[in-house]
Chains A and B, each alone.
Chain A
Amino acid sequence: MRPPSLLKQEFLKKWIMGLQRCSSTKKNMNILERKKAIKLSADVAMASSRNGTTCWSRALIANASKDGNDKHLVEQILGPESERLIVKKVSIGALVCNKRIRSKKILKRSCGIRRTRKCVPQVALASSIAKWLVRKRTQVLKSLIPGGEFMNEVCLIKETLDYIISLRAQVDVMRSLASASEQVNHS
């Protein structure tokens, strides 16, 4: 694994680059816009540091580029790889994901009766309760991780690992930057 310092360096550089471009394009943003821009550039910078190797990073970039306004920012941050990261992976991922989702819906509809019976946790079977709990939590986790709805469980946990590491690095960098800029302003 890359040492976390390298990861943070890379993240910081990209983030600052993105913020500078943000400030150059738009003047006099209100606080919410600024916050949104900051967060967006931070997320995209973190995702781009993975270079499209992880699913969550691709999904994050894809979501960010959906909005036309943000797409320019995303492309600027990503740089030359933006086409590769956005176009190809998004399209493939979207196709596959749509297929999966559709097939899952069909399956659910066909097994509707069975599903309704199983939805209620049977008190008698502890194992089924446990399974139900795990399933619920997996759903929650899928909603948290960007692009998580399209992963199976095995993949989801791996992505969660990577995502946690990235989030942690991101929080560290942001915190230090926030403290530094606060002091600059106070002085």
Chain B
Amino acid sequence: MEKDKVFMAEGLNKTAAQPTWNSCSFGMEMQTNELNCATEQVGSCFFNPNWDNSMDQSDPFESALSSMVSSPAASNAGSTLPGSGDNIMIRELIGRLGNICNSGDISPQSFIKPSNNNSSANTSCYSTPLNSPPKLNLSMMDSQIRRNLNLPGLGNQLPNHPSLAPFSADPGFAVRAARFSCFGSSRNFGALNGQLGLTEADFPQRLLPTMDSVKLTRVSCNQSIKVTGSQVNVPDINKNSPQDGNSGSDKKHSRLSRSSSPENAEFGDSKEESSVSEQIPVGDSSIDGQNGANTRKRKSIPRGKAKETSSSAAANPKVAAENDESTAKRGKQDEAAGSAKEKTEQNGNAKAANDGNQKQNKENAKPPEPPKDYIHVRARRGQATDSHSLAERVRREKISERMKFLQDLVPGCNKVTGKAVMLDEIINYVQSLQRQVEFLSMKLATVNPRLDINMEALLSKDMFQSRGSFPHALYSMDSSAPAFPFGYHPQQGLPMNSGISNNTEAQFSMNPLNAALRKTQGLQLPPIDGFTDANPRVASFWEDDLQSIVQMGFGQNQPQSYQGSIAADQVKTEL
């Protein structure tokens, strides 16, 4: 499955539709040249609707699209079938891609011909494989796509554009594109939750089938970013993040990215070798193609200079030929993609492209926006634009974000700053918790000679059942927390009295206390009935009652023992 996707990606890179594809997705991050404004719009609009599962952003998206290429109406996009979240997202993506590809339908066919012609005349030795893979991939991808996605709506598109359809309907690509948008909202991750472990629980399973493509894309993008280096001037898809319009799906996918990132970190290394070779040329070709089209304006891209002289505003075949010659040394996919890009751009709206270039020039002059994205990151002003440092910075920010959560969790970490000290505290805390577990298990072993816990089980059941009757107001009281650790490790219990432990300890002590109090007559607690009846009064009573109970518990002998109920005993011990 993974290899299929790799192969598909490889084949897809060679297909005619790659230029549009790159301009839509990868190109959005990696291409620096023209269409930056348009691509930014597309980038911001392209992924958003998929997350929101709504057509709100369809209008700006369509306008951006139309500026790039003459696209058909949003009929296809509007005809996405309802379905589950992932399917909708993928279908929308594919629909949009279909629009883009449909609009550029002239180009790929015309592209294919020159590529065929050029293959014979091409000095590059890699020409022949160009033609074969797409055909091979078509059937494979068609079947796979139809199987995977079950998209009857797309069936119309597929036969029309055989060269484009598999590419446009590539679920792996759709998922990849989806990932990029969720990277955009990854910045909100910290703001969204402090619940890293549990909420992500829902999604990794769903992610698993798509994990392969995700890993591929991440690795590929990292590699391509490293390759292209400083010339990457990516439109900030993070503009999505303020737009979150935040549906749950947006949060979901931000967490998707998070949850998938650890796995990707694990798998990425193993996959790097395999996918680098395929993906690097993608990055190169995408950038080179774009560079070729906007030679004069894009001086900051060193690779573009190689193509500057070659492809100015030439006719399509000439451009293709020149591109082929200039890129003959680069690699197999380059000339195909580059010339295809030339064609699509010139077939489309060349003027819009130039306008986009000019806009992008201005964009570059602006101060770079804060990145905070996983894969495509814009270098900050005055900072190194090396891909390594970019990735490093993203990583550091992620780590610091999570350290903040840890600061809240680990007691006593609020005042310390600095990673080393924080880590020290965390280590101490984890060690102390583990030691407590050991100690308590040893204690339980001594207490239970036969490991029988039936009574406790009964009690716990009773505790849990009666818990529901307790008002929530009781749970949030901090005053009841000290009830528990009195008997046991007060010095350890106090640092444990954060919000979480307070609630639970209170729960544990309150239920048996209440049960015991109801049963025992000896304890004089007038507001007993008030506990269950009047919630607001409890808080004030609780502390006083606790103290009185403590005194009574310590002073009294063993009271009448209830055979089946440990509650009373528990009351004494805990208080």
Residue-by-residue, is B336-360 near A (CB-CB < 8 Å gives 1, otherwise 0)? Answer: 0000000000000000000000000
CB distance from A73 to the nearest CB of B (A): 12
**Contact of B556 with A by CB under 8 A:** no
B55: which A residues are within 8 A, CB to CB? none
Given A34-B448, A39-B438, A175-B484, does the pair A144, B430 have CB atoms closer than 8 Å? Answer: yes
Residue-by-residue, is B415-438 near A (CB-CB < 8 Å gives 1, otherwise 0)? Answer: 000111001101101110110111
A134: which B residues are within 8 A, CB to CB? 419-420, 423
Given A16-B453, A154-B402, does the pair A96, B442 have CB atoms closer than 8 Å? Answer: no
- In angstroms, Cα B195 to Cα A1, docked, is 5
Q: Which of B265, B270, B430, B436 contacts A155 (CB 8 A)?
A: B265
Q: Which of B395, B444, B508 contacts A172 (CB 8 A)?
A: B508
Residue-by-residue, is A166-182 near B (CB-CB < 8 Å gives 1, otherwise 0)? Answer: 01111111111111111
Nearest to A12 among chain B residues (CB) is B460
- In angstroms, Cα B525 to Cα A166, docked, is 36
B403: which A residues are within 8 A, CB to CB? 157
**Contact of B194 with A by CB under 8 A:** yes
- In angstroms, Cα B496 to Cα A168, docked, is 8
Given A4-B503, A154-B402, A155-B262, does the pair A174, B420 have CB atoms closer than 8 Å? Answer: no
Contact call A38/B451, Cβ cutoff below 8 A? yes
CB proximity to A under 8 Å, residues B187-216: 193-201, 204
Contact call A164/B430, Cβ cutoff below 8 A? yes
**Contact of A78 with B by CB under 8 A:** no
Q: By DSSP majority rule, is chain B's interface helix, strand, loop, or mixed?
A: helix
**Contact of B554 with A by CB under 8 A:** no
CB distance from B131 to the nearest CB of A (A): 36
- In angstroms, Cα B438 to Cα A96, docked, is 31
Contact call A163/B430, Cβ cutoff below 8 A? yes
Nearest to B202 among chain A residues (CB) is A53
Chain A residues near B (Cβ < 8 Å): 1-5, 8-9, 12-13, 16, 19-20, 22-23, 29, 31-32, 34-35, 37-39, 42-43, 50-51, 53-55, 93, 96-97, 99-100, 103, 130, 133-134, 137-138, 140-141, 144-145, 150-155, 157-165, 167-187
Chain B residues near A (Cβ < 8 Å): 193-201, 204, 258-259, 261-262, 265-267, 269-270, 395, 398-399, 402-403, 405-406, 409-410, 418-420, 423-424, 426-427, 429-431, 433-434, 436-438, 440-448, 450-457, 459-460, 464, 467, 475, 484, 487-488, 496, 500-501, 503-505, 507-509, 512, 558, 561, 566, 569-570, 572-574
The 10 lowest CB-CB distance pairs between A and B, nearest first, are: A162-B197, A53-B201, A1-B195, A183-B569, A23-B451, A34-B445, A35-B445, A137-B423, A155-B262, A39-B441
